[in-house]
Amino acid sequence: MTQAVVAPPVAVSVQATDSLSLIGLTTMLADRPQVRVIPWSEAGGDVVVFAAGRLDTRVVAALRRSAAATRRPVVLVLDEINEAELLLAVECRVQSVLPRAAVTADRLTRAVAAALAGDGLLPPPLVGDLLEHLRDLQQRVLDEAGLNAAGLTPREIDVIRLMAEGLETTEIAAKLSYSERTVKGTVHAITRRLGLRNRSHIIAHAMRYGVI
C-alpha cells in the first residue's frame, strides 16, 4: 500500500512594527501544523509575514531589504492601505494584503499558502482599484504607441479592412497610395507584434475587437 506523501510545513518568518502584533501573528501560525515559524533573522524560509499600521517609509525599507536579501514572497498585514501604497507593496514582493481587523488564523494560513504558490489575496475594494489602475496604465501605453485596444495603428486598420474585402497586396497598395513593400511590411509587423499566423488570423483578431 502506497503511503501518502506529507508536504513539509511552510517556513514562515514573522516581523511587526509592534510587539503585540508580532506575538499575536506568531501565536496564530504556531498552532498550525502546516506552518513552521522561524526567527526573522534566520536564513532561508519560504514566506514572510509583516505587520504594520501603514506602509510608511520605514516599512517599505524593511520590505525592500528582505526582498533584496531573500526574494521571499510577503504577506502584509496592515490597518489600512490605499491604491498608491498597494502598487508600492507589489514592488516589494508583497503577494497578499490582509486588513489587521479581519485577520484570523485560517485567513493568515490561506494567505501564506497562496503567497507560496505565487497567488495573492487582496481585499475586494483593492482588487477593483488595482484593475482600474492597470486598465488606465494599459490605455496610456497604447495611446503613447499610437495603438488602440486591439493593438493596431490607424494605418494597420486601413490595411486590414481592405484585406477583409478580399483585396490583394497590389490592390491594397493602390487604394491607400502605398507601395506594395509598405503593405507587406505592415502585415508582417501585425503578425509579429500580436503573434498572429496569417491574414485570416489578422482579420479575425480585428473583428474580435470590433475595429472592422
Residues 54 and 104 in one domain: yes
Above 80 in pLDDT, residue 2? no
41 inside domain: yes
In this prediction, residue 208 has a pLDDT band, given cuts at 50, 70 and 90, of confident
pTM of the model: 0.55
148 and 91 in a common domain: no
Instruction: Give yes or no: residues 87 and 163 share one domain.
Output: no
Asked if residue 3 has pLDDT above 60, the reply is: no
Q: How many CB atoms lie within 10 A of CB 41?
A: 7
**Number of domains making up the chain:** 2
- Domain boundary among the residues 123, 153, 172 is at 123
Q: Above 60 in pLDDT, residue 156?
A: yes
Whether 138 shows a pLDDT value over 60: the answer reads no
What is the CATH classification number for the domain harbouring 59? 3.40.50.2300
Residues 16 and 90 grouped into a single domain: yes
Question: In angstroms, how far is CA 21 from the centroid of its own chain?
Answer: 28
So what's the pLDDT on residue 65? 80
Q: Does 129 map to a domain? A: no
74 CB-near residues (< 8 Å, 6+ apart):
47, 48, 49, 50, 63, 66, 67, 89, 92, 93, 94, 95, 96, 115
Q: Pairing between strand 47-52 and 35-38?
A: unpaired
Q: Which residue has the higher pLDDT, 185 or 147?
A: 185
pLDDT tier at 152, thresholds 50, 70, 90:
confident
Query: 202 and 101 share a domain?
Result: no
- pLDDT at position 131: 47
For the ranges 104-108, 149-153, 178-182, the lowest mean pLDDT is seen at: 149-153
Write down the pLDDT at residue 39. 80
- 128 in any annotated domain: no
Q: Are residues 150 and 191 in the same domain?
A: yes
Are residues 174 and 100 located together in one domain of the fold?
A: no
Same domain, yes or no: 103 and 151: no
CB neighbourhood size of 11 (10 A): 16
Range of the domain at 73: 10-123
pLDDT at residue 27 is higher than 80: yes
Q: Taking a C-beta distance cutoff of 8 angstroms, is the pair 73, 37 a contact?
A: no
**CATH value at residue 171:** 1.10.10.10
pLDDT for 123 beyond 80: no
Residues 56 and 99 in one domain: yes
